[in-house]
Structure 1
């Protein structure tokens, strides 16, 4: 990381790996802004509390905003994060990470973000032949963090996040 500490980077990776946030960001990226009244229909398996938590997290991190007449849409940071999510999932599928069969898009994104966090999680190290490709994902994540947050902003924003659902 060039402008964020390893601790902040780890907290950013943890926040960005929230399943609700991943689902919200990718849903809006795939289908456009979501009217507030449609959220429970789009995410029928989530409670209102879980949906509210994901929305609050997206707002706090500057990833989504309410667009007049259109609903909840992505900011530039949110659009770029959606691209980063796609890249991480594509890398994970290509390299069968964390394993050949896993829970899908969200699990793969979470596994890669956990792998990229300075503090390693329970997932195994990537295959040796995948390290160079993973370095490109790490660089993209670093650029995203550095572009969208100043030195102290990630820590402050992450402190303001609502408690996990």
Structure 2
């Protein structure tokens, strides 16, 4: 004759909901670690370029300039080589825009940019703290209410 062993039941404690204090302490530790990590990063100023519209375009993104676009020059070099990739962005009824580049208030060059993308290079004097791109503007046909200058595809200093 076989005697079956009695079945044992084990009572499990109900799952306790986490307390606010148990969540608050790890969250505070993570926040402090992130704050310290960000504070140790090199001091980088946010982009200070002014006078550009939002980025658009597909495979070749660009920004339309307004009548006056200011690009900061943060270098202590004797001279700064600046390269701009620009297209006129003309539509059928628009006259060719005229671009004037200035180092602060000193005029460097004035030209009519090509319809296709072209890279323009120039040397800025060591005293230049900003490059100013002034352009004639026009309103495109349709519902676009912006006054557009030229298409700025790239800037490097």
Bucket of the pairwise TM-score, normalised by the shorter protein: under 0.3
Higher-helix-fraction structure: 1
TM-score (norm. length: structure 2): 0.22
Higher relative contact order (CA 8 A, sep 6+): 1
